Amino acid sequence: MIVYGWNSKELKQAPFPGHICPACGAENSFIVVDASYFHVFWIPIFPYNKKLRIVCGDCGHTMKPKEVSQEVRQFAKQLKSKVKIPVWMFSGVGVVTLLIVYGIISSFLNGQKELEMLNDPQVNDIYFFYDSEEPTEYKYYLRKVVAVRGASIDVSPYSFSYNMEPEELEMEDGFFHSLLWG
Ligand SMILES: [Zn+2]
């Protein structure tokens, strides 16, 4: 089960003198700026927007900006525009960005490794081929380097073909027997 949804966090509170609470008549109101953000397992993924509310410090009566005078709304909007969304609300975006960067770097390093293997073949390197001429679906096969002689290499043929790129080799895949038994 994945727990996700919207959360809200208070960013800033500023007193707003001159505003009379319509519920209790007190002149002790605050303007509060909240930010709502999307979370997955309570980890903030990305912020959505900033919201305003006017709260009475005496009775707690809360009003939305549209319920108050133009003057209050103006003041509240200015406050809202000055408040910055905290960076931690972008945690999810940060994690995704890191994963993408990690993916790019590791595929680059894999590419480098492949180039190294092709430029400098070593005994026991395993090459992986794709045969588009193969009439069956088993178009993938492997060759293992058994000797390197200058510009040419000897490869050991391999009895199995695959219908997909093998993720890893198993004991039964063959090559490992020749390693074990010489
Ligand atoms: Zn009040």
- What are the CA-CA distances from residue 84 to residues 11, 36, 50, 87, 125 (Å)? 8, 13, 9, 9, 55
Percent helix / strand / coil, the chain, rounded to 5: 30, 35, 35
| Residue pair 173/160 in contact by the 8 Å Cβ criterion | yes
- What are the CA-CA distances from residue 28 to residues 25, 40, 71, 148 (Å)? 9, 37, 16, 86
- pLDDT tens track for 78-134: 989 999 988 888 888 888 888 999 998 888 888 888 888 778 888 877 777 788 888
Give the up-direction half-sphere exposure of residue 68: CA atoms within 13 A in the CB hemisphere. 27
Angle of CA points 112, 114, 116, to nearest 5°: 70
pTM, entire model: 0.56
- pLDDT tens track for 31-73: 999 999 999 888 888 898 899 999 999 999 999 988 888 888 8
DSSP-derived letter for residue 175 is H
Query: Where is average pLDDT lowest: 17-31, 77-91, 161-175?
Result: 161-175
How many A from CA of 25 to the centre of ligand 1? 6
How many A from CA of 82 to the centre of ligand 1? 26
How many A from CA of 21 to the centre of ligand 1? 5
How many A from CA of 70 to the centre of ligand 1? 19
How many A from CA of 7 to the centre of ligand 1? 26
How many A from CA of 55 to the centre of ligand 1? 8
Amino acid at 123: V
Helix (H) or strand (E) holding 97: helix 91-119
Residues forming beta bridges with residue 12, ordered by sequence position: 33
How many A from CA of 32 to the centre of ligand 1? 15
How many A from CA of 15 to the centre of ligand 1? 14
How many A from CA of 60 to the centre of ligand 1? 6
pLDDT at 23 > cutoff 90: yes
How many A from CA of 9 to the centre of ligand 1? 22
